[in-house]
């Protein structure tokens, strides 16, 4: 996000927040392993090392069950604190969690115009944005680029019911921001919004229907101001 306040539209590429968290966790791990393959040493101060190496969280399921479940004694208090802060975006351990939906949403002017491409509906949304901007709606599935496509192991994508619940609870405010983005998107109609909420119910059913969270939304003004 490096747009001026005068831009016509602010584009968000979004996905189900739980799916985003899982993808970002696996992406960060893959990047860390690539650093290691290039001669990375455990003594070097990569921030992501704090999650994967120091706390031994190598799957998101393990991260959730050991790091986020209250009363768990399978991780140190430091690692449990680190896990929650990382997922909330208050510590820059994993870059895609730190720069979350709330960060980008609050980086815009309050009256900014928003358009959205949902990862689950890339072709339809891409074409709707093209139409809105006066272009041709000729984007096809075959044209979608594939990135971060290393083959996933079953344990890398598995999330237990316990893990899903605690991840969704921690992501509650991020989910509310996700809803706000979709509601404000000028290329998303009510039917499409409802469609995304139905999809969200399959991953975070409680947070999909609730409009408030047990924890107050974080004040990130210093974080936003420090990046621009």
- φ, ψ of residue 162 in degrees (nearest 5): -60, -45
Distances 22 to 121, 147, 223 between C-alpha atoms, Å: 18, 15, 23
Confidence (pLDDT) at 223: 92
Confidence (pLDDT) at 141: 81
pTM for the model: 0.91
How confident is the chain (228 residues) per 10-residue block, as mean pLDDT? Answer: 65 97 94 79 69 95 96 91 96 93 95 95 94 89 70 92 98 98 97 97 97 94 85
Tens of pLDDT, residues 135-182: 988 888 888 776 656 678 899 999 999 999 999 999 999 999 999 999
Element (DSSP H or E) covering residue 114: strand 114-118
Please tell me the distance from the alpha carbon of residue 160 to that of residue 64, in angstroms, as a whole number: 9
Tens of pLDDT, residues 109-121: 989 999 999 999 9
Confidence (pLDDT) at 35: 81
* Contact present, 99 and 202 (Cβ < 8 Å): no
Please tell me the distance from the alpha carbon of residue 99 to that of residue 210, in angstroms, as a whole number: 24
Element (DSSP H or E) covering residue 165: helix 161-170
Confidence (pLDDT) at 60: 98
């Amino acid at each position: 996000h490096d747009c001026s306040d005068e831009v016509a539209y602010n584009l968000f590429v979004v996905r189900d927040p739980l799916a985003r968290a899982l993808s970002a966790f696996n992406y960060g791990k893959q990047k860390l392993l690539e650093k290691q393959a290039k001669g990375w040493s455990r003594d070097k101060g990569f921030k992501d090392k704090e999650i994967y190496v120091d706390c031994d969280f190598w799957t998101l399921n393990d991260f959730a069950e050991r790091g986020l479940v209250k009363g768990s004694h399978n991780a140190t208090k430091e690692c449990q604190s680190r896990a929650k802060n990382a997922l909330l975006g208050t510590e820059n351990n994993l870059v895609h969690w730190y720069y979350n939906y709330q960060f980008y949403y609050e980086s815009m002017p309050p009256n900014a115009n928003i358009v959205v491409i949902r990862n689950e509906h890339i072709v339809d949304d891409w074409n709707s944005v093209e139409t809105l901007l006066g272009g041709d709606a000729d984007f096809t599935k075959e044209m979608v680029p594939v990135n971060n496509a290393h083959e996933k192991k079953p344990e890398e994508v598995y999330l237990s019911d316990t893990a899903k619940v605690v991840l969704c609870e921690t992501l509650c405010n991020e989910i509310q921001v996700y809803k706000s983005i979709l509601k404000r998107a000028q290329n998303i109609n009510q039917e499409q919004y409802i469609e995304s909420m139905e999809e969200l119910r399959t991953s975070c059913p409680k947070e999909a229907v609730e409009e408030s969270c047990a924890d107050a939304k974080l004040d990130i003004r210093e974080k936003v101001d420090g990046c621009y």
